[in-house]
Structure 1
Amino acid sequence: MKPWPRALAVPAAVLLAVLAACGAQQAGSRGAHTRLAAASVPAFGHIFVIMEENKDYSQIIGSSAAPYLNSLLSRGASASNMDAVTHPSVNNYLADVSGQTYTTVPPAVGSPISDSCTPADSGCSTTATNLFDEIEASGRTWGAYMEDMPSACYTSYSSANYVERHNPVPYFSQIRDSASRCANDKPYTALAGDLASAATTPNFVWITPNQQDDMHNGTIQQGDTWAQSNVPKILSSPAWTTQHSLLVITWDENANQNDGNHIPFIALSSDGSIAPGTVDSTHYTMYSFLRTVEDAWGLAPMHAGDIGASGMAALFTGAAPPSPSRTQTSPSPTQTSPSPTPTGTQPPQRPLRAAFMYAWYPENWTHGGTYPASHWRPVAGYYSEDSKAQIERQITELNYGRIQHGILSWWGPGSKTDQRVAPILADSAGRDMYWSLYYEPAYTGQAALSSDLAYIHSHYASDPHYWVYDGKPVLFAYTRSVSSCTDVANWMAANAGRFFIDAQVFAGYRNCAVQPDSWHQYSPATRSDDQAGYSYSVSPGFWKYGETRARLARSVSAFRSAVAAMVASKEPFQLVTTFNEWNEGTAVEPATAWASPSGYGQYLDVLHAYPTN
């Protein structure tokens, strides 16, 4: 059982205690807890929250005083039965990010924390675990942006139209007392710079307008005008246009304290996961939204409110992000590529173009605690290789790039990459596409290797769309399993003549007494590599997620030169590293960053322009 957080120990006269149903709470820090994300809540890359003030649902939704806010409903959704947690302001802000409300002991034992209790007052803070703690523990980032706040993590009662009770961050002393963490609580003016790129935009963005613009002291019209001026800055930012993002605009509480605290709640997504015009009538509280953020990112519920709530799954379509429609200005692949060979008839053994492909999505969109684990966004969105439509799309794109052969990363019997081989082969029926496997497991002995090779041979080698060369099914071997002459000898012994083996090169490979059937280099951080007599490989670039600088910068012109040299080499195997390794940023698959009029992207356009013969 995880320990509950306790209030910061201070003199009793000003103690802020955490109200917990379980009674007295134990001291001590809480470790990071994670759980599997709910399948029906998308794992957004960025979540934006704009918190407005003190309006009933009926004062905003359908109101002529808020034309811009209502216009957003045609692009997104409304949760029509959303209630705030409590009254007054400060307890809502704290509840919305921690899953519980707070009380003071004394002067009025058990009474809710007052709006006049500021973080600058001795005792008006807590060490309770909160959403900002959870986000950091998951490896993500957050930023809170407060309009008119004069400096980071400002703790005084007010300044101009800024008030501390509309900013939950400084009430958590573990953040307030840390200069590095407190720096994430910023004046609103910092947001424009942070929105300049997806990399500088925090995963979680909280925005509080000032008291005029949030409708607390200002009119609904003023708040709507502020939204019209500021929301488009989010919707035009790279974090929105190139990432899987969510925007929520909601209110801390309603104006009529006798009306069940019914508040407006507006949500938009950048990827189609919220259907335009959706009205979700499920009864929610703001604890439900907190739980939704936790579900999206696999964070553990913290306290009674979010533990007892369900996420807002009904708000989302549950469908994979749709691919944007394409306007084809070039002939389709079937018209411009060489005529397709009949199903099951392998292409002649001329120089062949093949691409390394990774059927490990959606799992690998999250990697090392990062989502999405890529600097780039595919045009198709963060797709799943379990989708027949996605596989068919990829085959069309491969063929457009004059790629007839794919090399599927394979991690052993029963793995996800194994489970997807048969469907990919089946979906290639009637198409000019043939597949090999890239054997990735480490060498653990002859028995395991022999067993794996027997498994691959019996399950896939006889399929009419498994790649055959020199009369044998083709199998590529990564250096993890073959990195010395001894390993090559072991491989060829285990193979027993069943496969055409193409091994990754290593120092001195040409001097091995026992040779495989062919050699290749897998080194996408290098623009091109020629293994004379065997293969030639090219790469569009290499920028691994989490790294601040590309190991190989993307350049369409440099890639074009590399492809031209590859074709001129006449090497028998001409390899593209890679079609869709998004974690390392080596993909030629269409992405928003290199979109082109053809709809296939600039890198596939280059490959299309250079046939292998």
Structure 2
Amino acid sequence: MSCAAVLVLGLVACGQLAAGPTRPAEPVRPEASATVSRPSAGDDFSLAVVPGSASVVAGNLVQATVRTITTTGAAQAVSLTVGGLPAGTAATVEPAVVSSGGSAVLTVRTSVSTRAGTYDVVVAGAGASARHTVVFRLLVRAPAVIRAAFYYPWFPEAWRQQGLDPFTNYVPVRGRYAVEEPVVRAQVADMRYGGITMGIASWFGRGTVTDRHWPAMVRAAQGSGFVWAPYYEPEGTSDPTPERIADDLHYLRATYGGAGSALAVLPDRGMPVFVYNAGDLTTAQGCATVDRWVQAQALLQRRFGETVHVNLKVFPGYPGCSGTAGVAGWHQYGPARAEHDFSGAPGEGSYTVSPGFWKAGLAYGQSPFLSRDRARWRAGLARMNASGAPWQLVTSYNEWGEGTAIESSRACRGPAPAGAWCDWSGGGRSDFISDLHDELPPARDAGAVPGAAAP
């Protein structure tokens, strides 16, 4: 009887790390058994990955079983490693060492930076007397939808401001944390559970508080399948020149990008950059911003050979600007309103949801204000999924000062006002994150992979 005949099949495909949402995998060739290496003379073992292939939408993960069998002689320790991974993808085998006859779990984590295509992921097993490799064929499909959350890397500095300490009406479960690797790692896992595959992280410029916290963010997300994109804040307080914009974008790419980095780079589109052009109150102002960003993109390409995927904040008359075709997408940042539907915007549209808005220092109900209402929030998530928008945005993960966070809170700071929802910790996980988990983005791709069979 062949080694393959005694193997027990097992595969999991899902949109999250351990404890994440589970979806059935789609085998590329379901009729094919796993590839098993041939034994050699003396003490030997065989190596297999089952099933031998799987399909996944970029931003999700797949898991398969790596099995070893002692074929001749005595059992031996086998060290397992993985290679042949595409950019934007990470993989682990746990445990990394097994006794022949044992098994391990192969986890391949793709990100939205992973290019669509078919890849031969190589699993190698090295024993004392033999070494074998086996191929796990991975078909990656481009996502039709990316869910992202706005994130603020300005803690612990921002806990104390405007005469308040802490500057929030709530009591975060994580306390007055700092943006450090262990904290961010837990936050990333939190967001991944809610189907969020990208964080749009506030960036105010080189050397600022937010910039100083970016290294911890990027390190914490490496290998997780989660990626970061900058929220370009200088546009909200000034009109930076095209030269400055190009230099800033190159700085971000050169400083935080590179092989294995968690900085988002969308295949064939470049680094996504969201822009907080909040000062554009008229069509003339907004169109001038569009022109500056179109020029900045040309400079970035000419000077550094880099491309970016620009997503601007909407303004009055934004579709009619002469340079609108040079802007990849549009969003609204206005969390005092529960939903913003710009799914029909030129280029790539978006749908944004907010859990609530209660700014620190303001009385409960004082404008601008949005109460927290779970039924409204859940209905908004359903509408977001039905919208067909390629970008699903959440404002925000952790803007505690404005009271828009979906990160867990356990109480209000001070006596809870009548009608206020202060504790959404859910006995261990944010109720808002749990609701996002229950309303995952539609599991569809953006089109067939060239040269690949339809799954």
| TM-score relative to the length of structure 1 | 0.44
Is 1:375 matched up with 2:169? yes
Give the 5 Å matches for 1:280-359: 334-337=18-21, 339-340=60-61, 342-343=89-90, 345-347=110-112, 348-359=142-153
Aligned AA for 2:289?
D
1:579 and 1:334 map into 2 onto residues whose CA distance is 20
Alignment match, 1:248: none
Secondary structure, counterpart of 1:420 in structure 2: helix
Alignment match, 2:256: 460
Is 1:608 matched up with 2:432? no
Alignment match, 1:559: 377
Q: Tell me the matched-pair count.
A: 282
Deviation at 1:595, TM superposition (A): 3.3
From 584, 595, 613, give the equivalent of 2:402. Answer: 584
Secondary structure, counterpart of 2:18 in structure 1: helix
1:532 and 1:566 map into 2 onto residues whose CA distance is 9
Secondary structure, counterpart of 1:469 in structure 2: coil
From 328, 331, 334, give the equivalent of 1:517. Answer: 328
Is contact 1:501-1:518 (8 Å) kept?
yes
Deviation at 1:398, TM superposition (A): 0.6
Aligned AA for 1:473?
M
Deviation at 1:598, TM superposition (A): 5.2
Q: Deviation digits for residues 270-294 of structure 1, max 9, x if unmatched?
A: xxxxxxxxxxxxxxxxxxxxxxxxx
Alignment match, 1:408: 201
Is 1:443 matched up with 2:239? yes
Deviation at 1:473, TM superposition (A): 1.0
Is contact 1:362-1:382 (8 Å) kept?
yes
Is contact 1:540-1:588 (8 Å) kept?
yes
Alignment match, 2:67: none
Secondary structure, counterpart of 2:403 in structure 1: coil
Is 1:474 matched up with 2:285? no
Secondary structure, counterpart of 2:175 in structure 1: coil
Q: Deviation digits for residues 157-197 of structure 1, max 9, x if unmatched?
A: xxxxxxxxxxxxxxxxxxxxxxxxxxxxxxxxxxxxxxxxx
Deviation at 1:354, TM superposition (A): 0.3
Deviation at 1:594, TM superposition (A): 2.8
Is contact 1:334-1:340 (8 Å) kept?
no
Secondary structure, counterpart of 1:453 in structure 2: helix
Deviation at 1:468, TM superposition (A): 2.5
Aligned AA for 1:583?
G
1:478 and 1:606 map into 2 onto residues whose CA distance is 27
2:266 and 2:143 map into 1 onto residues whose CA distance is 7
Alignment match, 1:545: 360
Alignment match, 1:365: 159
Q: Deviation digits for residues 389-447 of structure 1, max 9, x if unmatched?
A: 11111011111111111000000011121122122111112212011000001223233
1:452 and 1:570 map into 2 onto residues whose CA distance is 32
1:492 and 1:462 map into 2 onto residues whose CA distance is 25
Aligned AA for 1:426?
R
Q: Do the aligned partners of residues 453 and 333 (structure 1) sit closer, same or farther apart at CA in structure 2, a change above 3 Å counting?
A: closer
Q: Deviation digits for residues 523-572 of structure 1, max 9, x if unmatched?
A: 10000001123000000000000111341011111111111100111200
2:224 and 2:279 map into 1 onto residues whose CA distance is 32
> Higher helix fraction: Structure 1 or Structure 2?
1
Is contact 1:598-1:605 (8 Å) kept?
no
RMSD: 2.0
Is contact 1:481-1:487 (8 Å) kept?
no
Aligned AA for 2:381?
V
From 343, 346, 354, give the equivalent of 1:532. Answer: 343
Is contact 2:397-2:404 (8 Å) kept?
yes
Aligned AA for 1:390?
V
Alignment match, 1:500: 309
Q: Do the aligned partners of residues 596 and 336 (structure 1) sit closer, same or farther apart at CA in structure 2, a change above 3 Å counting?
A: same
2:243 and 2:426 map into 1 onto residues whose CA distance is 51
From 392, 395, 398, give the equivalent of 2:185. Answer: 392
Structure 2 regions of 5+ residues with no counterpart?
Answer: 1-15, 23-59, 63-88, 91-108, 113-141, 302-306, 411-421, 443-455
Is contact 1:440-1:481 (8 Å) kept?
no
**Larger radius of gyration, structure 1 or 2?**
1
Secondary structure, counterpart of 2:229 in structure 1: strand
Is contact 2:229-2:273 (8 Å) kept?
yes
Sequence identity percentage: 33
Aligned AA for 1:522?
Y
Structure 1 regions of 5+ residues with no counterpart?
Answer: 1-331
Is 1:569 matched up with 2:387? yes
Secondary structure, counterpart of 1:519 in structure 2: strand
1:451 and 1:480 map into 2 onto residues whose CA distance is 21
> Higher strand fraction: Structure 1 or Structure 2?
2
